[in-house]
Copies of this chain bind each other. A is one copy, B any other.
Amino acid sequence: MNPTLQTHNYLLRFSIKPSVQRTAVMEFLLNNRIHPTIDEIYLALSPNMPTLSKTTVYNTLDLFVEKGAVRALVIDEKNARYDVDTSAHAHFMCNSCGKVHDIFNVNPMFFQLPESDKFKIQTVEISYSGICNECQGN
């Protein structure tokens, strides 16, 4: 099974009709777990898809989020970032280089939604920041 067909099926599992553009975006997300911004996705794909529009990348990611195939991260005040891994895990952003990394060794309890009579709590996001090793020459 070639990778594109695999991605096709992946999209179908989320009830997303797999167009060429959607498949390309999803394939990029699956193969590049870097929590990319819209711009990074667009810049990565446009050389091989010269007609690709940035608007399409926006629309595609909105759709992926709506269908639950992707999580939008609110950790970088500059840009929205997207993560294909929707399982419970936290993120770290380096304040120097701006890269976002996964943090998996976080107690799963932390992702339980707290009880509240004031709010119907639906999502959690646990975000860390600091400096990555590359940025402190270590």
Instruction: Show the binding face of A for B, using Cβ within 8 Å.
Output: 72, 74-77, 80, 90, 92, 94-95, 101, 103, 105-107, 109-110, 113-133, 136
Contact = CB atoms under 8 A, between A and B. Distances in A.
A127 B80 CA distance: 16
A106 B114 contact: yes
Contacts of A125: 75, 125-129
B114 A121 contact: no
Identical chains in the assembly: 2
Contact of A121 (B76, B122, B130): B130
Given A74-B77, A90-B114, 13 more contacts: A74-B76, A75-B125, A77-B80, A92-B119, A103-B114, A106-B114, A119-B131, A120-B130, A120-B131, A121-B129, A124-B126, A124-B127, A125-B128
B74 A94 contact: no
A58 to B, nearest CB: 13
B126 A122 contact: no
A136 B128 CA distance: 31
Contact of A129 (B90, B95, B116, B122): B122
Contacts of A133: 117-120
